[in-house]
Amino acid sequence: MHLCIPLTCILAAYCYFLGGVIILSTKISRYDIISQQEKQLRYTIREGEKKSPWIKSQLSKAGLTANDIKTREDLQKMPFTTKQDLRDNYPFGLLACPLEDVVRFHASSGTTGKSTVVYYTQEDINTWAGLMARVLKTTGLTNKDTMQIIYTYGFFTGGFGFHYGAERLGISVIPSGAGNSKKQLEIMKDFKTTSFTSTPSYALHLAEVADEMGVDPEKDLSLRQGVFGAEPWTEKIRERIEQAFDIDAYDNYGLSELCGPGVACECEEKNGMHFWEDYFILEVIDPDTGEVLQDGEKGELVFTPLWRQAMPLIRYRTGDISRIMDDECTCSLPFKKIERITGRSDDMLIIKGVNIFPSQIEEVISQHPEFRGHYQIIVEKEGAMDGLTICMEVTENLFSGNLKDLLQVQKELENSMRSTFFISSKIKLVEEGAIPRSMGKAKRVIDNRRNKK
């Protein structure tokens, strides 16, 4: 069986199994994790050389055979795999098993262009479900919970990933899917939902609808926690969601090319996401040079999954920017953590020569007490220069009050932006609801410079 079943010595230390995936060990040592990773790496490369035309071609491009890759250091000899490689090999070029063994296709949401397709064997699905069960358990969910899954069920991996993981953990699942906010809230009330999952931006929207409907989450709902991800979000947004629903809100990370959700998540400490080192090798690289960085240094996350049958990948460049945190966690999980994702390398805006991630803009404007969570960044050419405008929603009261107050808020925000990024920007305050809501990932940036190309 192609799966990373740990060494017998590690086994004893684990609590219990879920679909082949071992859930929440606290006693596994760093040494055992690395041995496990290297054992699985050798297996993945050996099988890849035999079964995956893509891995075979990557090995020969580097003048290597599977025998040359035995350790984590050896892995650095291998070329990277990129999203473009997946697009170039669309749809079946990455397949490493007969098509009849594939039981499922998924695709990425296509946030940055044509979506990429991923395939799963039954065993891949089982492992994914186990990894997701691990995520949900880490955020404190148990079989006593009822979870509403407010993600699209379809090509996008979010809905199914959470669904299988939650079922595997024995959670009562409500597969309500994305959209129809009023209905979502009614279901929450009627079914006494204790947890829900969606994008953080949709959770904010749901909070507004609850408010409009006169639903008081503290009195009318039974929610105690929520698991959010699929897009960057800041601490301020977490605070807003937590306050609005009277819950604990946890971050989780994943991408369809690696399985979907199920790669990393926060524990009760809510400070960095543990990633499953017994199932993935993570390197952090300088996105410009490809050089591997030390733990603690910020760069692009590159993952090698160690368990996949239908679509093994070596050194997949995610484009996502973060760093490996080197501090130990109070939860005593042995797996390292990554910091909140800053954004994707291709989301980075270069404005008047300054590199800025949308999440950094959010960080600045969210400090203002008038920040409600909804904003949009508009970049366009103003003559030869780049112009940056941030549309930010504020409460209606501000518009019905004194014009001076409105101008004051605007000025304060423009000053904060200038003192942080050393460039000027315009702040446009708009009424609540003026910025389009999304059922999934929010569209934060409209770059009209790009659109004109």
Nearer CB in complex with Zn ion: 45/329: 329
Tally helices (H) and strands (E) across the chain: 15, 23
Burial 49-61 (b: 16+ CB within 10 A, else e): bebbebbbebbee
Q: Is 59 in the site for Zn ion (CB under 5 A)?
A: no
User: To which residue do tokens 């035999």 refer?
Assistant: 50
β-bridge mates for residue 273, sequence order: 266, 338
Environment class of 339 (CB within 10 Å of its CB; exposed 0-12, middle 13-18, buried 19+) = middle
Report if residue 272 touches ligand ADP, rule: CB under 6 A.
no
Per-residue contact flags (x/-) with ligand ADP for residues 152 to 171, judged by CB under 6 A: ----xx--------------
Of 208, 202, 201, the closest CA to residue 358 belongs to 201
x/- letters, 224..263, toward Zn ion (CB under 5 A): ----------------------------------------
| Count of chain residues binding ligand ADP (CB under 6 A) | 22
Among the listed ranges 22-30, 71-79, 105-113, 284-292, the one in contact with ligand ADP (CB under 6 A) is: 105-113
| Residues with Cβ within 8 Å of residue 43, at least 6 apart in sequence | 2, 4, 306
Residue carrying the six token digits 């009760």: 268
- Could you say whether residue 253 binds ligand ADP (CB under 6 A)? yes
In terms of CB distance, is 254 or 305 closer to ligand ADP? 254
SS3 content of the chain, % helix, strand, coil (to 5): 35, 25, 40
Q: Name the binder of 344 from Zn ion, ligand ADP, none, CB < 5-8 A by kind.
A: ligand ADP
Paired with 349 in beta bridges are 356
Q: Are the C-beta atoms of 304 and 314 separated by less than 8 Å?
A: yes
Q: Which amino acid is at 118?
A: V
- In the complex, the smallest distance separating the C-beta of residue 76 from ligand ADP, rounded to whole angstroms, is 22
User: Binds 194, which of Zn ion, ligand ADP, none (CB < 5 to 8 A, cut-off by type)?
Assistant: none
Task: Please state the closest distance from residue 340 (CB atom) to ligand ADP, in A.
Answer: 7
Q: For ligand ADP, which residue of 205, 238, 315, 344 counts as binding (CB under 6 A)?
A: 344
The answer to whether 325 contacts Zn ion (rule: CB under 5 A) is no
Among ligand ADP, Zn ion, none, residue 331 binds (CB under 5-8 Å by kind): Zn ion
Q: For residue 341, state whether it binds ligand ADP (rule: CB under 6 A).
A: yes
- Site of interaction with ligand ADP (CB under 6 A): 108-112, 115, 156-157, 229-232, 251-256, 318, 320, 341, 344
